């Protein structure tokens, strides 16, 4: 089904919580890690589709700081799978840039090296920007930003009376991009799981039961169509927005 979308109301930034990989695998009698492998193929499909639709930013919740508490074999498998996300053709053919956000100090040198290589390789591409949130925690991000702001105040670089919302945004890992217009979570859970808590204050939220490996281009279109059917009011009344 090729859903008719309004190209003039396309979300510029889509953030996705890619949930359901493990459950997808277990449902088919496979090891959980097979679900993560299948999920990489979905990443490639959805990246290509977002590029085609004219989306400017796609932020993917790839690995949270809480995920470090999973069984060691699964964490190691996830790290190995991440290093396979280096399909140069996917990026070059679609003019896609890769950016990274998160606490990368905890990642192995091999994973850091591969991701930084892809970031450098694609730095001059100006189409879709794919943002990989890896070893990411929104609360940790906010704590880090608070410490940096406090240090700047202590050093006399920043006046405490000048601190506002933009100050905080400027000190986040995500300071190079706009806040998400649309947040999608697959897999049937209805929560945001410590993901972009500051940034999604006015994002439209979309939850679906589809496991991430089964999430197709048509599912993305449904999410965007739902977004386009809504009126974003940012605290105003419906009448004020329509004026």
Domains and CATH numbers, the chain: 10-137+179-242 (3.40.1180.10)
Q: Mean pLDDT, the chain, as a whole number? A: 91
Please tell me the predicted confidence (pLDDT) of residue 237: 67
- Of residues 203 and 235, the one with the higher pLDDT is 203
Please tell me the predicted confidence (pLDDT) of residue 214: 98
pLDDT digits (tens, 9 = 90+) for 147-164: 999 999 999 999 999 999
Q: How many CB atoms lie within 10 A of CB 82?
A: 21
Find the mean pLDDT for residues 132-156. 96
Please tell me the predicted confidence (pLDDT) of residue 147: 98
Would you say residue 1 has pLDDT above 60? no
Question: Which of 61-65, 87-91, 114-118, 214-218: highest mean pLDDT?
Answer: 214-218
Find the mean pLDDT for residues 11-35. 95
Alpha-carbon distances of 14 from 53, 112, 129, 206, rounded to whole Å:
12, 24, 11, 11
For the chain, give the percent of residues with pLDDT over 90.
Answer: 71
**Residues marked as catalytic:** 19, 67
Q: Token pair of 143, please?
A: 């704590």
The confidence band for 201, taking pLDDT boundaries of 50, 70 and 90, is very high
The confidence band for 239, taking pLDDT boundaries of 50, 70 and 90, is low
Would you say residue 146 has pLDDT above 90? yes
Inter-residue long-range contacts of 34-38, CB under 8 Å, 24+ positions, other chains counted: 35/211, 35/212, 35/213, 36/77, 36/78, 36/81, 37/81, 38/213
Find the mean pLDDT for residues 15-31. 95
pLDDT digits (tens, 9 = 90+) for 24-83: 999 999 999 899 999 999 999 999 999 999 999 999 998 888 888 888 878 887 787 776
Alpha-carbon distances of 163 from 149, 150, 152, 176, 233, rounded to whole Å:
8, 10, 11, 19, 26
Q: What pTM was computed for the model?
A: 0.92
Please tell me the predicted confidence (pLDDT) of residue 197: 98
Please tell me the predicted confidence (pLDDT) of residue 216: 98
Would you say residue 170 has pLDDT above 90? yes
């Amino acid at each position: 089904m090729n859903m008719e979308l309004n190209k003039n109301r396309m979300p510029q930034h889509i953030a996705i919580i890619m949930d359901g990989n493990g459950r997808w695998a277990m449902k088919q009698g496979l090891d959980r890690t097979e679900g993560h492998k299948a999920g990489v193929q979905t990443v490639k499909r959805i990246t290509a589709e977002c590029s085609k639709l004219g989306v400017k930013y796609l932020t993917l919740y790839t690995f949270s700081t809480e995920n470090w508490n999973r069984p060691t074999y699964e964490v190691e498998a996830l790290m190995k799978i991440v290093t396979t996300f280096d399909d140069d053709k996917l990026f070059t053919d679609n003019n896609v840039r890769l950016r990274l956000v998160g606490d990368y100090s905890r990642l192995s040198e091999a994973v850091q090296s591969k991701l930084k290589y892809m970031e450098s390789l694609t730095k001059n591409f100006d189409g879709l920007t794919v943002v990989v949130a890896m070893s990411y925690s929104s609360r940790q991000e906010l704590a880090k930003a608070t410490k940096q702001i406090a240090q700047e105040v202590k050093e006399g670089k920043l006046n405490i009376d000048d601190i506002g919302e933009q100050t905080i945004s400027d000190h986040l890992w995500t300071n190079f991009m706009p806040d998400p217009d649309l947040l999608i979570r697959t897999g049937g859970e209805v929560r945001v799981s410590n993901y972009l808590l500051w940034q999604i204050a006015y994002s439209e939220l979309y939850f679906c039961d589809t496991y991430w490996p089964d999430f197709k281009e048509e599912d993305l279109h449904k999410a965007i169509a739902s977004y386009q059917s809504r009126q974003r009011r940012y605290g105003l009344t419906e009448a004020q927005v329509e004026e």
